[in-house]
Every structure is written in structure tokens, then in C-alpha cells.
Amino acid sequence: MTGSIMDTFFEECEELLEAMDAGLAAIEEGDQDAETVNAVFRAVHSIKGGAGAFGLDELVAFAHNFETVFDDVRSNKLELDEKLIQLLFRASDHLSDLVTCARDGGQVDSAHHDVLIKALAEYIDEDEEELVFEPMGVGAAFEPAALPLLDAVEEEVTYDIRFHPLKEMYATGNEPYFLFQALSDLGELSVSLDENELPGFDAMEDGENYLSWELSLTTTKPRSSIEAVFEFVEGLCELSITTDGDAEAEVDALAALNAAFGVGSAEEENVVDVPLEQPAPEPVEAPALAEVETVEVPEVKSDPASENTPVAKKDAAKAKSAGPKPTLRVELDRVDKLINAVGELIINHSMLAQQIANLDASDTRDVETELEGFKTLARDIQEGVMAIRAQPVKPLFQRMARIVREASAATGKSAKLVTVGEATEVDKTVIERLADPLTHILRNAVDHGIETPEDRAATGKEKAGEIRLTAAHRSGSVCIEVKDDGAGLNRKKIRQIAIDKGLIPENAELNDNEIDNLLFLPGFSTASEISNLSGRGVGMDVVKNAVTKLGGRVNIASTPGRGSTFSIILPLTLAVMDGMVVSVAGHTMVVPITAIVETMRGNDDMINNLGADGTLLSIRGSFVPICDVASSLGLRRDTTNEPAGVYLLVETENGDRCALAVDDIHDQRQVVIKSLDGVCGNVPGVSAATILGDGKIAMILDPESIVTASSSAAVFDTDRRMSNAIAS
């Protein structure tokens, strides 16, 4: 039970941390609206509250410091200057780390922890700290320790209790009867109403309370247990608790003061009447309880939401409509089941269509009309279901802000992340798997792209570099772009590194685009030479792999002195795509439409041999290498045979074109993507599978890797190894 509550807690923490980051980002942008600040405060507060319940002390302690500082911000005691905002950001990052550690086990960097605690403490003035750690005022006399302590006193003692509620007590909803009931749990209780206190009828004032009770409680529990019962009415009644046979039940002012200072003194004195109507002496400007009558709240500095308190109904209604749209939390599993089912529905439709077409019926028009309706509905459902999985990239982008902050701090550079298109929605899985590559690109941008403040100043740039992170939908795909205004790629250096690492021959002739793409070669990592920040032992090839796995690609554009742009182009959804159904050596396969530039039927005149095994297709005067899909996939060993007659002109990432030779083209349709992950390992040339109308599985081809694997594509390059590496 607690386990699942704890899971919920961590889930909630994620959301709260996101909200906190969003709030801080808004504050940084200059939105220091009370509600924005309050929202961040609430997030920290909720994390602390939950963490407290699970005894996550380190988290509680840090959140507490954080919260205390934020409380002062909230009450305008602290000004939100740049320095403080940066500290709050770092504190928020650290809080996130603490949550992660609490969830997954592990330890945060304690030096960093201490630094932040100290930095936060500088903003907390000492008086306040005292107030925080030594709660005073209401309840101070018997705070949590006042809970019934079992077996603390074994001897049975009879207490005489005189209880006279003030009229204010009734305004708080406290009922003497319930208090007595609680008392009776402690031992033998007798209650009698003290009629002597009743004034004559004439003397009665409206609303005043004249009732008093005499109680006698015989219990083994300590006095503090009795006091605990009256905790809520402290200051709202006259109360005296005296032990058996004690005659001096007078209110002693000094004893009262002592009592108010702490439980200890009260217990040492055998006879202390706790004058609950007396205010606890309060060194700081805490509320005086005796003034409760006036129902005027004393000025309190850490006033959380006084301006929010008198919310008029009208305002509240407005706030409600302006609030977030109602949402429903659904387990991802269920959505995925639904997506699968819809995929089946679409397949089912094509099967039906195929069977109807095969029917030997004279008139199938009506059925076909209905079938068309079925198709439309199925598509609608599919789009709807896909939309459930789609999420805005905002949280991902927010996390990236942290990466840039950390990278800047680690490199001593100054960089600012500007995000554009945060509302762009992308499939949830895509978002999750984008985190790593994006992190890497951004670290790289700070580490290698952005210059030091001095260098920037020297070239007339603003001291702080700008990294622009953009998300946008572009004709059926999603484009995520990281653009920095740094120095641009150092091609000379990249080339040299590639040579040093034996990735290219020394005399290789490469154009700029090819040099840029060297970054993606496995084994190419400039990190070790330059700094340990962006590297962490992996190169940009990891970025490329991750993106390729998602069915996307990465492009680089760079201008010396002006900066570089990394673009990640991804399919909108991982679940369906438009494909061209082709046959290859008797197998039905699907080629993604997005990869195809043009399709054409070839004839012998168009084919030109080049060298021993290279063939080129001439298209309107230009020559394009032919890649026989069947042999590339190992489905036809004999490559001397003339490749089949249909060509799909595809364009690879670095702009090279290649003609994929297939046997025939059947049709073009939307196919449901079935991942081969977990079914089999990486199959060269194949990105996934799909189920066709006849229930058979068809491979979805990955033109990029087919071109790579094909020998004919490589004939142009002086060095085949390089070309393979670049294209892979």
C-alpha cells in the first residue's frame, strides 16, 4: 500500500518539478507575478510534504531551505535578482537529483549539496531560522510530543479539570462534548456542569458563553496527554488541570509563563495551571492569541496568500475557466493496447477490402461504399488515439535548459537557451528517446560551439552565447533544431582528428558536408582532447544511432564564425507511416514514401555499366548509382543478373541520390509499423515490419542502410570505407 503511494509520490514529484522549472523559467523571463511565484512555492512545498511522509529526510531538509528562501521571495522580502534566480535554478536541479536519488537509490554529490545549502542559507536571515526551527505561539507548550505517550506514567493519577470555553471557541467548530469523549479514552472520566457560573438571566449577554465544566479524570497517562486533547482550544477557553488534592488552583502568572515556554517546566511543577487564554510570550512578531477575539490577523511577514484569501466567487469562477483543461490520467499500457487494436482494425479493413475485391459478386458497389466509411472511421479513431500519445515537447525542452546551465557552469562559458515551439506535440516515446541525443548535442554546442566570453567579445558578439532549441511540424515530420551562434565547426580540426584516428585516409578529398558528417562516425569523439564535458565517453555517433532508431535523421549545417545548426528530423508517429508496397525477389516489402524522390520504370538504354560491378542509371542526363535491393538484402546471390525493372530514386542524408532497384511496385498505402525490437536484433536494411492486408508480414526497408550496404553505391568513392562510414 505504502509502496504504491510512494510511487504516486515520485510520479507527482516529476510533475511538480516540471511545474517548478516552468515557473522558474517564467520568472526568469520577467514574469514575477504573485501566482507564478506561488506556484513554484507550492511545488517545492508539496515535494517537501510528501517527502516528509516517507521519511526522506535529506530531501525534506533541502526542500525546506529552498522553500524558506522562496517564502521570502513570495512575501517580497527578497528581491528576485539574476543571481538569486540562478541559485533557484540550481537548487531546483538539485532537488530533482535528490528526488531521483530517493527513488532509485544512490547518493547526490555531497559537496554540491553543501554548497547549495550554504548558498541558500545566505538568503535566510537568522531570526527567521529561529522561528522555523523553534515553533512558538500556538501549540508551543505541547507540540507533537504532546501526543499520548504510552506508559510514560504508570501510576494512576486523578486530575481535576476545570473547563470554561470562551464564546470564540464555538466559532471554530470545536465541541466540548467531543473533547470530553476524547478525554474519556484516557481513563475514568466524570463530567459535571458548573451551574454556579451561570449569571442571572438579566446579566446574560447575547452570544456569550457562561457554561463551565468540572471534570475529573483518573488516568495513568501523563498530563501532556490531557493537554493534547485541549490543543485545539488552547487560548479559546479557560482551562486548569490540577492533580488530586491540590488546593492551590490559582492562576499563577509566573508559572503560566514558564509553562508557555515549554512542556518540561510544566511537568516539573506539580501544580501548574496552564492558562490557555494567555498568549505565549513571543519574541518575534508572532500572533498574540489573546487577540483572537478581535478576529484580526496580526501582520505576519510570511503571509502565504493573504491577497488570495478573499476570493470573490466571480473571480474564482474566472480562475476556473482559465485553469488547465480537465485531464484524465491513463496508464500508458492501455493506450498502447488501443493503438495496437486500431492498427489491427486498419489491417482488418485492408483484408476485408481485398476479399471483397476477390469476391465473385456482380455488384459490390454498396459494400464498397460502406467499406469506405469503415476506412474513414478507422482513420479517425487512429488519429484520435495517436493524439493521446502525443505530448508537447515543453517538459523535454525545460530539462534541456538545465543541461545548458550545467554545461555553461562547467566550461566557464555563458550561454542562454531560447526555446521555440514548445507546444509542438510529438509521440511520447519519441520525446523520451530524444532526451539523450538532445542532451548530447546541447552539451556539444556549449562545449565546442559557443566561444569563451572573451573570444566572443573580441569578435563583437554578445558575451552570452545563444542556443536556440526549436521544434516544429514540417510536412508529416517533426523537426527539432539546435542552433548556436558560436564559432561554427572547426573543419580543419575535425578532418585532422579523423585522419589521426584512422577514419579517413590522409589524402581524402572531402567537401564541407562530408567533413561535418565525420562527427557522426563511431570512434570520432573530440571530447577527450578538448574537455570531459560533452564527451562522457561517447561521440556524436550515439546521437545519430538514437535518432536513426526512431526512424529519423540528423543534419548538420555550419558557418564559420556564425555557428552551427543540428537538425533532427523525425516521423510524427512511430505507429504508422505511408509506404510504397514493392516486391523484391518474390518478397513483398514496404519502402517509406518520405524517402522516395521519384519512381520510374527502367529500360536497358538507361543502364550503364561502370567498372566491374557498378551500374548507373541515367536520368535526364545525370547518372545515379543503382542499388539492387535483393542483393543488398542477401536475397539474391547472383548479382550479375540484370537488376529488376523498377527504380525508386531515393536521396540519402548527405544529399546523394541512389536508384533502388525492385521487381515491381504494387501500391501505396498507410502501414502500421511493428517494431522488430525484441523480436530480432538489428537487421541491416530493415527498419521495422508491418502486416499487410493478407495477414502476412512485410519488412519495411531502410533505404539509407540499403544504399550503404550496397556495393554499387560505393564505386564512386575513392575510399569505400569512408563512404560507408559516413552514410551509416
Residues 339-398 that bind other proteins (CB under 8 A): 340, 343-344, 347
- Shortest distance (Å) from residue 246 CB to other proteins: 26
The span from the CA of 98 to the CA of 85, in Å, is 20
646 DSSP β-pair partners = 601, 662
Q: Per rule CB under 8 A, is residue 152 in the interface with other proteins?
A: no
- Shortest distance (Å) from residue 377 CB to other proteins: 19
Only one of the segments 38-46, 242-250, 454-462, 648-656 lies at the binding site for other proteins (rule: CB under 8 A); that segment is 38-46
User: Which are the contacts of 362, defined by CB distance < 8 A and separation ≥ 6?
Assistant: none
- Which residue's CB is nearer to other proteins, number 134 or number 529? 134
- Shortest distance (Å) from residue 158 CB to other proteins: 22
Q: Measure CA 2 to chain center.
A: 23
- State the Cα torsion 572-576-578-581 to the nearest 10°: 150
Task: Name which of residues 263 to 292 contact other proteins (CB under 8 A).
Answer: 286-287, 289, 292
CB 641 within 8 A of CB 648: no
- Look at strands 157-165 and 213-219 and give their pairing: antiparallel
User: Which are the contacts of 686, defined by CB distance < 8 A and separation ≥ 6?
Assistant: 633, 676, 699, 700, 701, 702
Only one of the segments 6-14, 383-391, 436-444, 537-545 lies at the binding site for other proteins (rule: CB under 8 A); that segment is 6-14
Of positions 699, 700, 714, 722, contacts other proteins by CB under 8 A: 699
**E strand or H helix that includes residue 133:** helix 126-133
Convert residues 657-676 into a mask of x (bound to other proteins by CB under 8 A) and - (unbound). -----------------x-x
C-alpha cell at 101: 536519488
Convert residues 124-143 into a mask of x (bound to other proteins by CB under 8 A) and - (unbound). -------xxx-xxxxxx--x
- Shortest distance (Å) from residue 22 CB to other proteins: 14
Q: Per rule CB under 8 A, is residue 207 in the interface with other proteins?
A: no
CB 469 within 8 A of CB 417: yes
Task: Name which of residues 46 to 105 contact other proteins (CB under 8 A).
Answer: 46, 48-50, 52-53, 55
Of positions 31, 33, 156, 175, contacts other proteins by CB under 8 A: 175
- Shortest distance (Å) from residue 557 CB to other proteins: 34
Task: Name which of residues 441 to 500 contact other proteins (CB under 8 A).
Answer: none
- Which residue's CB is nearer to other proteins, number 179 or number 404? 179
- Look at strands 697-701 and 587-592 and give their pairing: parallel
What are residue 460's phi and psi, to 5 degrees? 80, 15
Of positions 415, 691, 714, 722, contacts other proteins by CB under 8 A: 691
Distances from the Cα of 322 to the Cαs of 16, 22, 310, 327, 424, in angstroms?
20, 18, 19, 14, 21
Task: Name which of residues 635 to 654 contact other proteins (CB under 8 A).
Answer: 635
- Which residue's CB is nearer to other proteins, number 403 or number 698? 698
- State the Cα torsion 414-418-422-426 to the nearest 10°: -60
Of positions 145, 171, 357, 472, contacts other proteins by CB under 8 A: 171
Residue 174 in 3-state DSSP? coil
- Which residue's CB is nearer to other proteins, number 287 or number 392? 287
The span from the CA of 426 to the CA of 570, in Å, is 9
- Shortest distance (Å) from residue 278 CB to other proteins: 14
The span from the CA of 42 to the CA of 37, in Å, is 9
- Which residue's CB is nearer to other proteins, number 88 or number 691? 691
Which segments of 288-331 does DSSP mark as H helices, in order?
313-322
- Which residue's CB is nearer to other proteins, number 179 or number 722? 179
- Which residue's CB is nearer to other proteins, number 133 or number 201? 133
Of positions 122, 296, 366, 454, contacts other proteins by CB under 8 A: 296
**E strand or H helix that includes residue 388:** helix 365-389
Of positions 152, 297, 330, 597, contacts other proteins by CB under 8 A: 297
647 DSSP β-pair partners = 600, 661
- Shortest distance (Å) from residue 327 CB to other proteins: 11
- Which residue's CB is nearer to other proteins, number 662 or number 689? 689
- Shortest distance (Å) from residue 67 CB to other proteins: 9
User: Which are the contacts of 298, defined by CB distance < 8 A and separation ≥ 6?
Assistant: 285, 286, 287, 288, 291
- Shortest distance (Å) from residue 669 CB to other proteins: 17
Of positions 260, 469, 633, 671, contacts other proteins by CB under 8 A: 633
The span from the CA of 707 to the CA of 713, in Å, is 6
Task: Name which of residues 564 to 603 contact other proteins (CB under 8 A).
Answer: 587
Only one of the segments 154-162, 250-258, 294-302, 557-565 lies at the binding site for other proteins (rule: CB under 8 A); that segment is 294-302
- Shortest distance (Å) from residue 1 CB to other proteins: 6
Closest by CA position to 430, among listed 331, 573, 567: 573
- Shortest distance (Å) from residue 638 CB to other proteins: 16
Convert residues 215-254 into a mask of x (bound to other proteins by CB under 8 A) and - (unbound). -------------xx-xx--xx------------------
- Which residue's CB is nearer to other proteins, number 52 or number 614? 52
Q: Per rule CB under 8 A, is residue 696 in the interface with other proteins?
A: yes
Alpha carbons within 13 A on the beta-carbon side of 224? 24
User: Which are the contacts of 334, defined by CB distance < 8 A and separation ≥ 6?
Assistant: none
Task: Name which of residues 304 to 333 contact other proteins (CB under 8 A).
Answer: 304-306, 308-311, 316, 319-320, 323
- Shortest distance (Å) from residue 38 CB to other proteins: 8
Cβ count near 77 (within 10 Å): 14
The span from the CA of 233 to the CA of 395, in Å, is 47
- Shortest distance (Å) from residue 439 CB to other proteins: 25
Site residue total, other proteins (CB under 8 A)? 97
CB 715 within 8 A of CB 724: no
Of positions 144, 412, 460, 621, contacts other proteins by CB under 8 A: 144
- Shortest distance (Å) from residue 530 CB to other proteins: 34
Closest by CA position to 413, among listed 514, 319, 534: 534
CB 70 within 8 A of CB 37: yes
Only one of the segments 525-533, 552-560, 655-663, 677-685 lies at the binding site for other proteins (rule: CB under 8 A); that segment is 677-685
The span from the CA of 177 to the CA of 174, in Å, is 9
Of positions 355, 376, 559, 682, contacts other proteins by CB under 8 A: 682
Output the DSSP codes for 391-424: EESHHHHHHHHHHHHHHHHHHT--EEEEEE-TT-
The span from the CA of 241 to the CA of 164, in Å, is 12
CB 671 within 8 A of CB 576: yes
Only one of the segments 455-463, 566-574, 613-621, 633-641 lies at the binding site for other proteins (rule: CB under 8 A); that segment is 633-641
CB 567 within 8 A of CB 479: yes
- Shortest distance (Å) from residue 471 CB to other proteins: 28
The span from the CA of 478 to the CA of 513, in Å, is 22
Of positions 172, 190, 511, 528, contacts other proteins by CB under 8 A: 172
